[in-house]
Amino acid sequence: KAGVTQTPRYLIKTRGQQVTLSCSPISGHRSVSWYQQTPGQGLQFLFEYFSETQRNKGNFPGRFSGRQFSNSRSEMNVSTLELGDSALYLCASSLEGWWGTDTQYFGPGTRLTVL
Amino acid sequence: SQQGEEDPQALSIQEGENATMNCSYKTSINNLQWYRQNSGRGLVHLILIRSNEREKHSGRLRVTLDTSKKSSSLLITASRAADTASYFCATDRASGGSNYKLTFGKGTLLTVNP
């Protein structure tokens, strides 16, 4: 099975712009989660989607949004970019999203740099 | 806020030695997981230990969990240069309803010198 893929791998944007990141989960996985990783804050949970519905959300401002399509592919969008949004954005997929027993498989990430 | 906190932040050892990393957490959990990340890449799941388990093995990995102390340790035996990576513990906690989210610690950077 192909792993989780994320596009693009690298992105450079300027403050005020918006960006859309894409994630294709492992075939058959219905849950997709997004994380932001920065040196200062570490790995932080953004949100999780299951069957096109957002089930969980972390403590991020409304500038961060996402969606999931019927084929389980997911996108996340960040509007009005700020310098602090520079980070590695990781997507993870799992069968059902029950993290207690459901292993999450991570993609390679998208490195976003905001200038 | 971080649920899991790894200790030490960085660890440097020689090939063949054992590496031990610790993780402490604050609130009750159902399960604790360990992940590895190579140099800014995606995370790889290593092992999951449930709250009613005390010890678990997987190859050269040994994980212990002490729920009374809210701590876990990851032992890598006979380390190899390829084990060089950051190691994270992740805990789950309810975020409403029956769904959970993983909360990661800041990780331990392990360097294994050939």
* DSSP letter string, B11-69: EEEETTS-EEEEEEESS--SEEEEEEE-TTS-EEEEEEEETT-SEEEETTEEEEEETTT
Could you read off the pLDDT of A20-29 as tens digits, one per residue?
A: 999 999 999 9
Given an 8 Å threshold on Cβ–Cβ distance, is A100 in contact with B100? Answer: yes
- Chain A residues in contact with B96 (beta carbon < 8 A): 56
Nearest CA to A93 out of A76, A80, A77, A105 is that of: A105
The reply to whether A55 touches chain B by the CB within 8 Å rule is yes
The more confident residue out of A101 and A91 is A91
Given an 8 Å threshold on Cβ–Cβ distance, is A43 in contact with B41? Answer: no
Structure tokens at B3: 């649920």
How far apart are the C-alpha atoms of A5 and A81, rounded to whole Å?
23
Query: What are the residues whose beta carbons fall under 8 Å from the beta carbon of A61, sequence distance 6 or more?
Result: none
Query: What are the residues whose beta carbons fall under 8 Å from the beta carbon of B53, sequence distance 6 or more?
Result: B65
Structure tokens at A32: 């997709």
- Chain A residues in contact with B100 (beta carbon < 8 A): 56, 98-100
Rounded to a whole number, what is the distance in Å from the CA of B13 to chain A's nearest CA? Answer: 23
| Nearest Cα residue in chain A from B39 | A108
- Give the nearest partner residue to A56 out of B31, B95, B106, using CB atoms: B95
Query: pLDDT tens per residue, chain B (114 residues)?
Result: 446 678 899 999 999 999 999 999 988 888 899 999 998 788 999 999 998 999 999 999 999 999 999 999 999 999 999 999 999 999 886 555 545 678 888 899 999 999
Q: Which pLDDT band holds residue A69 (cuts at 50, 70, 90)? A: very high
Largest CA distance in chain A: 40
- Chain A residues in contact with B43 (beta carbon < 8 A): 43, 90, 92, 104, 106
Could you read off the pLDDT of A30-58 as tens digits, one per residue?
A: 999 999 999 888 899 999 999 999 988 88
Q: Are A55 and A48 in contact (CB under 8 A)?
A: yes
List beta partners, residue B100. Answer: B94
| Nearest Cα residue in chain B from A46 | B101
